[in-house]
Amino acid sequence: MKTILISGGGGYLGTYLTQVLLKKNNVVVYDEFFFKWLYKNRKNIRHNTRLKIIRKDILNVTSKDFKDVDIVCDLNGIPNDPSSELNKKHTWEINYYGRKKFAEIAKKSGVTRYIFNSTCAVYGYNKNTVNENSKTNPLSTYAKANLKAEKAIFKLKSKNFKVNILRNSTLFGFSQNLRLDLVINIFVNSLINTGNITVDGDGKQWRPFISLNDVCKIYEKIISKNSLPSFVINLVAFNSTIKKLAFKIIKYFGKSEKNIKFISRNKDPRNYKTSSKNLKKYIGNINFTNFNYEINNLVKGIKKYKLKSDTSTIRMKFYRSKFSKK
């Protein structure tokens, strides 16, 4: 049985990934737990006897934190474009310097594989469909810091320290630590509460998407294959314009185009379609989860937990509050 350390494991993806990996592994969650669901419910989740908690800032990491750890899943960092701009200095400190230091100490401590959670936002604006060999064009502090961290950590790769860079598409789907600032989650929550969707700009901008469920399938496959080399891959299930996505979700709810409002003054400059040359090469075929199945689970979760758009679900609101107290 392997021991997996998930840094940032108390977040949106981390909360879900922790529960998935506990089925077959020992899991160490390293997190400050700004978002507390996993920490508060740690004794109630399945296979919790295999769960260890380290409540700590990543800047304070030491080699002792990696004792007996085989693999690190690095989900650290300020998590999106808007939040990263609130305090650029802090974003660079965490998303680049902190993550780089974390990987360096992990390598020195005997960790054999380092899975770095990055973002397709490193492509920024591209007219053509991008893949792992395409030119990057990061627009935000978030994307720039992630890209620089990617490059620094990938240089650490060796025969005994495999580095896997996963560039996530825009995530969606239910987690007990839900984010309501991701486009599909935003649309679903808005329809539940108001019956309408608001789209920034004309909605013609392209984005790649992948569900939490499918990302976790990929993590499981990487962890299970000891022979996998170091690589960079884009994680993408499908691409869509925001407008087409809005129509698709409206249709699921049985609504009409009248329920979509476009705000032209709020144009989003990011625009990119993503493919992957490396996903099938290294991971194999992925049976991506049915879209409506994911939306159904999202609806049920939002209603069950009575989730609201506040500092616990909107990262921009949380970090604005956090930085204003400094």
Q: Are the beta carbons of 266 and 205 closer than 8 angstroms?
A: no
Q: How confident is the model at residue 244 (pLDDT cuts 50, 70, 90)?
A: very high
What three-state secondary structure class fits 90? helix
pLDDT digits (tens, 9 = 90+) for 87-129: 999 999 999 999 999 999 999 999 999 999 999 999 988 888 9
Q: What's this model's pTM, rounded to 2 decimal places? A: 0.96
Of 79-88, 195-204, 258-267, minimum mean pLDDT range: 258-267
Q: What is the CA radius of gyration of the chain?
A: 19
Segments making up each domain of the chain, as ranges: 3-324
- Using CA atoms, how far apart are residues 170 and 177, in angstroms rounded to an integer? 16
Q: Are the beta carbons of 146 and 122 closer than 8 angstroms?
A: yes
User: Edge to edge, what strands does the sheet with 71-74 contain?
Assistant: 51-55, 26-31, 3-7, 71-74, 113-119, 162-168, 231-235
Confidence (pLDDT) at 326:
57
Print burial letters for 96-114: b (CB count within 10 Å at least 16), e (below 16).
bbbbbebbebbbebebbbb
Q: How confident is the model at residue 322 (pLDDT cuts 50, 70, 90)?
A: confident
Parallel, antiparallel, or unpaired: how do β-strands 238-241 and 206-211 relate?
antiparallel
State the CATH class of domain 3-324: alpha beta
Confidence (pLDDT) at 161:
98
CA dihedral in degrees (218, 221, 226, 230; nearest 10)? -20
Q: To the nearest whole percent, how much of the chain has pLDDT over 70?
A: 99
- Which two tokens mark 39? 């920490």
Confidence (pLDDT) at 264:
80
pLDDT digits (tens, 9 = 90+) for 59-96: 999 999 999 999 999 999 999 989 999 999 999 999 99
Confidence (pLDDT) at 271:
80
Over 80: is that where the pLDDT of 173 sits?
yes
